[in-house]
Copies of this chain bind each other. A is one copy, B any other.
Amino acid sequence: MATHFQGSPAEISSLNVFITLFRAADTIQSRFARHLRRDGLTGPQFGVLESLHHLGPLEQHVIAEKLLVSRGNITFIVDKLEQLGLIARAVITEDRRCNRVTLTPKGSEFIARIFPEYAAYIAEIMSGLTEDERLALTCLLKKLGKHNNQEIAS
């Protein structure tokens, strides 16, 4: 994209980040999704299970915010996982608008079993970088993300 574009240096370097960011994310996402399909999961389904696994029971809107998907989509995803018997909804008394989503024993066993495989797979995906590079990359991406989260709020 930027290759044949005439602009200021800041515009050119920005376009290069933009392109490279999405190409890397798409490539990795595609690899990861193909892996998930073997376990019959989509990315967001895995995200919900993983969130509950590491953070405990969560309300639906918290999950939506965490995974950056719409509330309507969370309803859909939670429906699927509930049909699979991996999670359960529970209305909470303090605020009856909310559903608290929890892992069932089956779901808990499932995510605990498969998560280490995915952690190892992600480590392989990132093994093209050194430890220092991974830390630096995380730092830069966090800074970039923070800048753009603030922009949304405003």
Which A residues fall within an 8 A CB radius of B? 1, 3-5, 7-11, 13-18, 20-31, 50-51, 54-55, 68, 115-116, 119-120, 122-123, 125-129, 131, 133-138, 140-149, 151-152
Contact = CB atoms under 8 A, between A and B. Distances in A.
A41 to B, nearest CB: 15
Nearest to A152: B31
A131 B10 contact: yes
Nearest to A131: B13
Contacts of A13: 126, 131, 134-135, 138
Nearest to A51: B1
Given A28-B21, A120-B11, A16 B134 contact: yes
A28 B7 CA distance: 21
A114 B7 CA distance: 14
Contacts of A5: 54, 115, 119
Given A4-B55, A14-B134, A152 B22 contact: no
A50 B5 CA distance: 10
A144 B151 contact: no
